[in-house]
Amino acid sequence: MTAAAAQRPWGRVEFEERLRAVAEERYHDRHPFNIRMNEGRLSPAELRRWIINRFYYQRNIPVKDALITAKFDSPDLRRMWMRRIEDHDGREVGEGGIERWLRLGEAAGLDRAVLLSDTDVLPGVRLAVDGYVNFCRLRSPIEAVAASLTELSAPDLMRRRIEAFERHYPWIDAEGLVYFRARVRQGRRDSGETLPLVLSMARNRAEQEQAVAALAFKCEVLWSLLDAVDLAEQEIRW
């Protein structure tokens, strides 16, 4: 391939395929910790550690989404993106994804004050999540938006997770799983909006490559989060 061809923009189909390939191949559903979760091999202590640490990610989602909202100069795009903040914060007190995650914690025997205190969040989890928020703060609009495309793979993961929890972790009340159920629908709707947006935002090959790299980075964030949770458990076990 010549240098000129290398710079030619991918066609829409190829660009979408490349994004989908990253979202599929590098998604954290393949992480050993997630596989053990789905196979029912996590102890209650391991599951609680994951719930506490993943909450640090959950509570930062609206922050990164507000930072992305601030990158748009169009009311239509801001309105679209703000709906994600609402999904997590709720339209009213007692609603939203953050509240639902707190209820997951309670269903697993964790007081919400423990989750809200942040004190048990592992350093590696903090670095991964803060790194993601800063990526959305500092990078270009297309990079910040493309990083959200892990939602292409999220609905499948959520469906498998619900099945695994119902089957292997019956000590967690089914009421605690409402977060996962809501995300199946929200993830489908979000990716249905974000994918066309990323495809249309990229004006040249360089921006297409930045979008693919941003999505790969986001996969690494989620993977690193599970690495940190997994390793901490090993340290306890060995």
Closer residue to a copy of itself, CB minimum distance, 73 or 235: 73
Of 88, 100, 139, 183, the residue at the interface with a copy of itself (CB under 8 A) is 88
Task: Tell me if 89 contacts a copy of itself by CB under 8 A.
Answer: yes
User: How many Cβ atoms are within 10 Å of 209's Cβ, its own excluded?
Assistant: 17
Give the three-class secondary structure for 3.
Answer: helix
Task: Tell me if 119 contacts a copy of itself by CB under 8 A.
Answer: no
| Torsion-angle region of 223 (φ positive above 0: left; ψ -120 to 50: alpha; else: beta) | alpha
Binding mask 43-82 for a copy of itself (x = CB under 8 A): ----------------x--xxx-xx-xx--x-xx-xx--x
Alpha helices per DSSP H over 70-202: 75-89, 97-107, 112-117, 123-138, 141-146, 154-168, 178-201
Residues 6+ apart with CB under 8 A from 184: 155, 158, 159, 162
Minimum distance, C-beta of residue 60 to a copy of itself, in the bound complex (Å) = 9
Of 1, 4, 11, 91, the residue at the interface with a copy of itself (CB under 8 A) is 91
Binding mask 123-152 for a copy of itself (x = CB under 8 A): --------------x---------------
Binding mask 189-208 for a copy of itself (x = CB under 8 A): --------------------
How many residues of this chain bind a copy of itself (CB under 8 A)? 25
**CB of 52 closer than 8 Å to CB of 59:** no
What is the C-alpha to C-alpha distance for residues 128 and 37, in angstroms, rounded to an integer?
Answer: 20
Q: Return the H-helix or E-strand segment holding 54.
A: helix 44-69
Minimum distance, C-beta of residue 89 to a copy of itself, in the bound complex (Å) = 4
Region near a copy of itself per CB under 8 A, out of 94-102, 123-131, 205-213, 223-231: 94-102
Minimum distance, C-beta of residue 79 to a copy of itself, in the bound complex (Å) = 5
Phi, psi (rounded to 5 degrees) for 102: -60, -35
User: How many Cβ atoms are within 10 Å of 80's Cβ, its own excluded?
Assistant: 16
Chain contacts with a copy of itself (rule: CB under 8 A): 59, 62-64, 66-67, 69-70, 73, 75-76, 78-79, 82, 85-86, 88-91, 93, 96, 98-99, 137
